[in-house]
Structure 1
């Protein structure tokens, strides 16, 4: 491994993986740094499953590129069925996948692109000269290590790199700084999904109003997502601040991913808060498992198959960029001249204090653009952000935080960083048209 690179990417989640592959394919030297012993970020460490959504409500695919290539290769391995209809009707599609296969595939694709990878490494210091990062210092098992780079990309999710470099950051809501709650996800197996489907067909009024009950009954679409069991949840009276059950089927035939825990009031950038959240989240998991076995038809013989290695963190820091994407941009379906990605996921805010979710649909033609300026922190000139920590408001963040969007902004950032290195300019000074042409040629920007 070298100690000097053209592009240094911190964070090996969906954004970092796609950024690294994109940059490597541009024939520059690339290092991808990840704190865990595997890649995948929240998709693997927190078992965020499935990926949603690659399509708008009409079924038009709006996110492709390396993200779609990953889905295709997982399909070839039998590790994903591809894009399936969301059977609660919240979005158009969901994309199930097997996380262990994804961990390996991400490593393989990065290696194929010529990327150097350093796992078990945590960035704890950033050395800045003027308005540029000169190097980062990693804490590793073999001691501290200094890595120099020409251009850096923050794919940490929490904006750690930009924060340590002194960039201005935003956290949570404007009025109180509170962030969306965390969730400890877990899998249960031994689930009789036929019994679940039968109950849904017999009691449609107990489920989310947009649920595709008739399509499930006719077999047009396989059951992928269940939201409801409202009476059972109310009767149980669990001390968890939500009002319904939510779970996703697969990848095993008798397996589901439970997304029901809600851990509120903690700051995902503080070790003390994360420690408390992990403890509370795991207590909720066992409480929920007992609830499912006792109250939910089809779960009578089910048990816990696995619990996420870490709690899922929805929201922490975001950069204050050259442009801040707003809720109005989403609800108006705004188009930008410097767009580098598209999304069709609605605003989906899990309230930091209460038991409800605030929802707002994407306006216009059902998609909105993410502009390049959202990847550019104002103060630091040789760094880009991708994934969760791009420049948005708290409200707009509730859509851009989703995995397919993170993959798309990651590929855009990796491509832009490589162009900046080759042209010897700051990322903010690259030719946007040249960037967009490459992204169009690689199916990231779609007409």
Structure 2
């Protein structure tokens, strides 16, 4: 017998976008359910160790993402689980935001329950029932058997557009032409790192590190991230198609999060490709950790302390929505009448087949708008999206995929769903001005 659960808003995917969507919907008064395949919250931020969160600010340091995302940071800071926004000592952006993932897992659940959200962990959506271009319900496979969850409005925060795809909404994948996606990365942590020695080596050998590193300020800044060791990496000649070492510090004083492995040419929505990616990624982790311990000053006594529960995925499916954010929209810092979130993160494309990263910074005031239309898929009328699977081009996805942007679109999707339920209309029929007023009342920055 299939268990039946009824809700107003059904959110599928418990990453930062899904957390914020469910909290916003729950706070609106809508009866909300959040479905997550893992036994914990956080998506890529916790399962794949995507750390730190970047960025809440423009390159000039103006904050452009706040609202629920900032509320989470404030509460983490009160729990000594985040130092707040720090200068990025890599120099790629102005600020990054470290956090303790285990405490975030607990805090997020607390906030969801405070908002009255019903949680269904260890639950995997494998079928979507649609009638006349509207989702009626989603079916879950779970430890306790089949569950049918019906709702009025559904929000896809799976990252992979799983809900949209299963519902029949048009989806895209990868770049134009060959459909290649950005590579996957298996992230890992190391303890026992002598970070003062790392900083001193950077100060003494600036030519071996990223050109935008703020060397003139480095002595007075807490070390938050490092990109470089070009000479060491080139000499090692590891079979990893990347041209430098990248890591971020914390959450402990002797700890770093390493973002250096690279698995290319595999599809994150294909189970056989994913299986191979997990195998390759974990082998690369051992290889990179040994290289760092044997070759990098400050890592002589370091050891692996944690590896992601799954490989980190930058790009898979995204919806073909009512508007696709363009690379020119980002780079030119364009504004839209139906803005529901902003971001100052640059274009950041990890080459699908090569070694490098293609970057382009936002002009104008340093931030671009994300329009509400990017959250609305074609064909399926009672579906919203947020996070990595909103409607963009391959190039624009390289900025909207970052966690603070996902948090912001998540809050917008949840608030929009709440208004749709309140007024008994479809998400495309809500008054966007009313949505903007709700978001700004709740702390979002839209101008």
Fold conserved between structures, TM > 0.5: yes
Spell out, residue by residue over 1:103-129, the C-alpha distance to the aligned partner (whole angstroms, 9 max, x if none). 000000000000000000000000000
In the alignment, structure 1 residue 173 sits paired with structure 2 residue 175: yes
Cα distance between partner residues in 2 of 1:379 and 1:407: 25
| Aligned match of 1:48 | 50
Cα distance between partner residues in 2 of 1:237 and 1:7: 51
2:93 to 71, 76, 91: 91
Displacement of 1:354:
0.4
| Aligned match of 2:316 | 316
Cα distance between partner residues in 2 of 1:70 and 1:365: 26
Spell out, residue by residue over 1:134-163, the C-alpha distance to the aligned partner (whole angstroms, 9 max, x if none). 000000011111111000000000000000
Q: Matched residue of 1:146: which SS?
A: strand
Cα distance between partner residues in 1 of 2:115 and 2:137: 23
| Aligned match of 1:39 | 41
In the alignment, structure 1 residue 141 sits paired with structure 2 residue 143: yes
TM-score of the pair, normalised by structure 2: 0.99
Spell out, residue by residue over 1:216-258, the C-alpha distance to the aligned partner (whole angstroms, 9 max, x if none). 12x1x11001001000000000000011010001110000000
Query: Are the equivalent residues in 2 in contact too, given 1:436–1:445 (CA < 8 A)?
Result: no
Cα distance between partner residues in 1 of 2:227 and 2:364: 27
Counterparts of residues 3-22 of structure 1 (less than 5 Å): 3-22=5-24
| Aligned match of 2:375 | 375
2:161 to 154, 159, 164: 159
Query: Are the equivalent residues in 2 in contact too, given 1:347–1:359 (CA < 8 A)?
Result: yes
| Aligned match of 2:325 | 325
Displacement of 1:186:
0.2
Counterparts of residues 323-402 of structure 1 (less than 5 Å): 323-402=323-402
Counterparts of residues 215-294 of structure 1 (less than 5 Å): 215-217=217-219, 219=220, 221-294=221-294
Displacement of 1:364:
1.7
| Aligned match of 2:26 | 24
Give me the CA root mean square deviation.
0.8
Spell out, residue by residue over 1:352-374, the C-alpha distance to the aligned partner (whole angstroms, 9 max, x if none). 10001111111221100000000
Displacement of 1:446:
3.6
Displacement of 1:175:
1.0
Displacement of 1:214:
2.2
Cα distance between partner residues in 2 of 1:229 and 1:28: 51
Displacement of 1:44:
0.2
Cα distance between partner residues in 2 of 1:36 and 1:210: 38
Cα distance between partner residues in 2 of 1:240 and 1:68: 36
Q: Matched residue of 2:7: which SS?
A: strand
Displacement of 1:417:
0.6
Q: Matched residue of 1:3: which SS?
A: strand
Cα distance between partner residues in 2 of 1:267 and 1:273: 6
Q: Matched residue of 1:265: which SS?
A: coil
| Aligned match of 1:411 | 411
Q: Matched residue of 1:275: which SS?
A: helix
Q: Matched residue of 1:49: which SS?
A: coil
Cα distance between partner residues in 1 of 2:340 and 2:4: 30
1:213 to 215, 236, 254: 215
Cα distance between partner residues in 2 of 1:387 and 1:404: 9
Displacement of 1:297:
0.3
Counterparts of residues 93-108 of structure 1 (less than 5 Å): 93-108=95-110
Query: Are the equivalent residues in 2 in contact too, given 1:173–1:179 (CA < 8 A)?
Result: yes
The unaligned stretches of length 5 or more in structure 2 are: none
**Stretches of 4+ aligned residues off by more than 2 angstroms:** none
| Aligned match of 2:432 | 432
Cα distance between partner residues in 2 of 1:251 and 1:422: 41
Q: Matched residue of 2:336: which SS?
A: coil
TM-score of the pair, normalised by structure 1: 0.99
Cα distance between partner residues in 2 of 1:293 and 1:421: 55
Spell out, residue by residue over 1:318-337, the C-alpha distance to the aligned partner (whole angstroms, 9 max, x if none). 00010000000001101000
Cα distance between partner residues in 2 of 1:198 and 1:408: 37
Cα distance between partner residues in 2 of 1:46 and 1:188: 15
Spell out, residue by residue over 1:54-82, the C-alpha distance to the aligned partner (whole angstroms, 9 max, x if none). 00111111000000000000000000000
Displacement of 1:2:
6.9
The unaligned stretches of length 5 or more in structure 1 are: none
Spell out, residue by residue over 1:389-439, the C-alpha distance to the aligned partner (whole angstroms, 9 max, x if none). 000000000000000000000000000011011111110010011000001
